[in-house]
Chain A
Amino acid sequence: MTTDRAPVGVPFRFARWLLVRSAGALFVLWAVATLTFFAIRLIPGDPAEAILGGPGSQASDEALAAVRAEYGLDQPLAVQYLAALGRLATGDLGTSYSLRTSVSTLLAEQLPGTMLLAALSLSVAWMLALALATWSTRGGRVPAAVGAGLEVVAAALPHFWIAIVLILVFSTGLGWFPPISTAGPAGLVLPVVTLALPLAGFLGSIMRESLLDALEAPFALSARARGESELGVRLVHALRHAALPAIGLSGWAFGFLISGAVVVETIFARPGLGRTLLTAVTARDIPLVIGVVLVVAAAYIVLTVLTDAASRLADPRLRAA
């Protein structure tokens, strides 16, 4: 399903669409940066003191002044803002107050872990959802009811609670998996499952509904009339239709996973963006917060553009619009 198969003119239109979309994405990124910058300025308390580890650190006035100068906090807000944007443009995210290192390098350290976690969770959620959807639509009231039930419950599970129960059962109880995220793959199991379950609930519902729609659609009938087996109808036709909306949701799913990562990474003591964000937020580490937010937003935006593009390519009906 690539553009060259589409009728003449579509590649051009697609490029155009992509261009417009990316421009929009850049704008959003800028807006996010701006919003974050000013929002964080609303926080009570002197950033200089925050840098010096809170009022407890007995920082002398000279020290405070020094810090203000060092971080340009003595400049008027507008200047600081422009400076921040300028540095941003050059990819420099500044220096973390609380961790005293370059935010860029810090995030570079933290990003892969979280991305791995998110990617794995997303795929696991997909597999679970697909399995559940296909099983619960094989006909019969019981599977359907059970499927629907599982989905709703899963979607209602708070991450922190799943995490706790999983640790309780599989670490403290059975001792199968480490309760904290260690280097080995074993350490990933519980966090991934924790993140995947609720997501699978949402995706599962979507998939099941669209799968049912597809199975009842005329093209399924004509496929059967062609001599296609039920399995064939599912594999060749229905599953793609079930997958499409779920693909479109990947952007949202990512956001959902990041929100979850804040909790999960804290509970499983797993280094990553989520945990970094939480510490940064409590430490009022402005550059770090901005950094994390920007990275997350950027990832989110890129992902949405990509998934939209993917769905457009996969589904000609979207191009018509």
Chain B
Amino acid sequence: MSAAGATGADPVLRVENLTVGFGASGAAVVEGVSFTVAAGECLALVGESGSGKSVTARSILGLAGARSWQRADAVELSERDLRSLSEREWRSVRGRNVGLILQDALASLDPLRPVGREIADALRLHTRLSPAARAARVHELLRSVGMPEPELRVKQRSGELSGGLRQRALIASAIALDPGLLIADEPTTALDTTVQARILDLLAEQKESGTAVLLISHDLAVVSRVADRVAVLREGRIIETGPTDRVLRNPEEPYTRRLIGAVPTGRPRGERLSVPVGSAPGGSAQRARPAAPVPARATTPRDAVALSVRNVTVRFRGPNGSTRLAVDSASVDLHTGTTLGLVGESGSGKTTLARLALGLIAPDAGEVRVGGEPWNPLAEKHRRPVRARVGAVYQDSLASFDPRLSVEAILTDAATGGARRGSPARSGAADRVRELLDSVGLPAGVLPARPLNLSGGQRQRVAIARALAPRPDILICDEPVSALDVSVQAQVLDLLDELQERHGLSYLFISHDLGVVAHMADRIAVMSEGRIVEMADTDRILAAPQHPFTRRLLDASPRL
């Protein structure tokens, strides 16, 4: 992969000074963006949510939306000026000359139509092929995207396919008429890492076969796998562009540096990811906190077990009476003051384990102990008094807040054990709430706000503050950052680290992203199909994975 490809061939797509806005008087969300993509080349537009990457991609297809407007000096697809196209000309371009792959194939393929039809549509619209010929071509395409048993799949609907197969189907529909340009908008987000890897390989193949690929992503690590060149977007402007390895090795722009710095993958435990507020923009990530504490951690007592899960088993009853093992005699120990990372793919039973640890469901066999005391199974009324010891941080924090309550109400309630207004327990609550806000780095200004009106990062901080309110010594964090932008994710991860330092907390840290887990955890438990297939210290897992699944996970997880 070299940038050379870019300069040599003449560009398939040339965008000159593109500006896009919404509403008659609306401000531009994309401003003066210029880039080119050549045949057999992959250009990645990287940026965080709201940076205007998707809008850019869509305006190239003339699909920016009904109320959008755009200006550009040039939008050329293999020398053809796209700016002056009529609606029907657009239609001839879409699908034939440009293919689009969207995030979340579940929603991007019509859930009511067999995927075969969806794929065939492109053919129906742009070719005169007979239905039979189309069917044949569809099989061909499915095979080419590595879809197992295509003849069965064509008849299934997107809802009946697994995430990976879905995405393959979507790609197949996009490349049906192998267009010169393929636009992939977050093609792998919300996919398991192993699947993600395969999809990225697929895109790479397309590129090799001479297609120009415009890849849009928020994830630098993903980008680094396929992209030849990277363009970093921020607030609608391209602030830095260049060959992938150059940009990643030595970024020129501080923002780019910060983005890169925020990627946890391959970063040692305890290393700071985000730039502390007010620190010099030029500051490289390393300086934030020396790697010193790492050995220090090694000395912390490993024998004291905060939370122990002893070969627990959980069965779920399926709709047709069949039972499924969600957790299969799993055992893990969380040592005091440390972080146990739990990694696995979707459906591997991670969350069920978390709910067990939180005492929200009872195990069918085995038991969970907290600080050696029985915890689950246990009658709720006996567990309630000690619940203060175990807190939780969820992925979707918004859903975990009562929509009627303000931040203040939420924290006060959490801090005072749900005491009613005016009860003595409430005295001094206000100070405690302030204290909590400080500890998670939120201004007092958010108190009257409702979580709905906060940003994702702020919500997650409120969630953490709430978890801390009863002064727990264990936090169960279930995918706490997977919904967040990379820089925000960095801040939250750092916050968790700090808090652990300050309060000597023990974390059960659950994530599908090995990179994140590896960065956060002292020990890692790898989970697959309900079983703990491997559990060891982080470095051992990274250095010498035993279980084949662990190895696959490791290979698949993208790093810079």
Contact = CB atoms under 8 A, between A and B. Distances in A.
Contacts of B320: 9, 12-13, 16
B100 A222 contact: yes
B159 interface: yes
A68 interface: no
A222 B126 CA distance: 15
A308 to B, nearest CB: 15
A225 B100 contact: yes
Interface stretch (A182-190, A213-221, A287-295, A299-307): A213-221
B102 A221 contact: yes
B61 A225 contact: yes
B63 A227 contact: no
A113 to B, nearest CB: 36
Contacts of A74: none
A317 B100 contact: no
Given A227-B122, A228-B121, A240-B112, A7 B156 contact: yes
18 contacts: A13-B319, A217-B107, A218-B104, A219-B111, A221-B108, A222-B170, A223-B121, A224-B63, A224-B94, A225-B94, A226-B122, A227-B122, A227-B126, A236-B121, A240-B112, A240-B113, A244-B112, A317-B111
A227 B102 contact: no
B80 interface: no
A226 B94 contact: yes
A19 B29 CA distance: 56
B102 A317 contact: no
B112 A221 contact: no
Contacts of B61: 224-225
A321 B176 CA distance: 33
B2 interface: no
A5 interface: yes
A21 interface: no
Contacts of A224: 61, 63, 94
Nearest to B109: A219
Interface in A182-210: none
A227 B155 contact: no
Interface string B153-184: 00111011000000000100110100000000
Nearest to B112: A240
B112 A222 contact: no
A37 B114 CA distance: 49
A63 B112 CA distance: 66
Q: Which of A217, A244, A314, A317 is most buried by chain B, counting CB atoms within 10 A of its CB?
A: A317
A232 B117 CA distance: 14
Interface in B78-119: 88, 91-96, 98-100, 102, 104, 107-114
Interface in B310-361: 319-320
A241 B112 CA distance: 8
Contact of A314 (B91, B99, B112, B319): B112
Given A222-B173, A226-B125, 6 more contacts: A7-B156, A226-B100, A226-B122, A227-B92, A228-B95, A314-B112
Describe B's contact surface by its main secondary structure.
mixed
A269 to B, nearest CB: 44
B247 to A, nearest CB: 28
Contacts of A9: 320
A320 B320 CA distance: 11
A139 B94 CA distance: 22
B66 interface: yes
A6 interface: yes
A139 B66 contact: yes
Nearest to A10: B160
A236 B160 CA distance: 20
Nearest to A232: B125
B351 to A, nearest CB: 18
Given A13-B319, A227-B126, A316-B159, A222 B109 contact: yes
A232 B160 CA distance: 24
A227 B91 contact: yes
B221 to A, nearest CB: 24
A237 B121 CA distance: 11
A58 interface: no
Given A5-B114, A314-B112, A225 B63 contact: yes
Contacts of B111: 219, 315-317
A219 B107 contact: yes
Contacts of B94: 224-227
A123 interface: no
A219 B110 contact: yes
Contacts of A13: 319-320
Q: Which of B66, B98, B125 is most buried by chain A, counting CB atoms within 10 A of its CB?
A: B125
A237 B113 contact: yes
Given A12-B320, A218-B104, A226 B109 contact: no
A234 to B, nearest CB: 12
A219 B108 contact: yes
Given A240-B112, A317-B111, A221 B91 contact: no
B112 A218 contact: no
A7 B157 CA distance: 10
A316 B157 CA distance: 7
Nearest to A318: B159
A315 to B, nearest CB: 6
A227 B535 CA distance: 50
A101 interface: no
Contacts of B173: 222, 226
Contacts of B99: 225
A103 to B, nearest CB: 41
Given A12-B320, A219-B107, A314-B112, A320 B159 contact: yes
Nearest to B121: A226
A218 B107 contact: yes
Q: Which of B126, B160, B176 is most buried by chain A, counting CB atoms within 10 A of its CB?
A: B160
Interface in B52-79: 58, 61, 63, 66
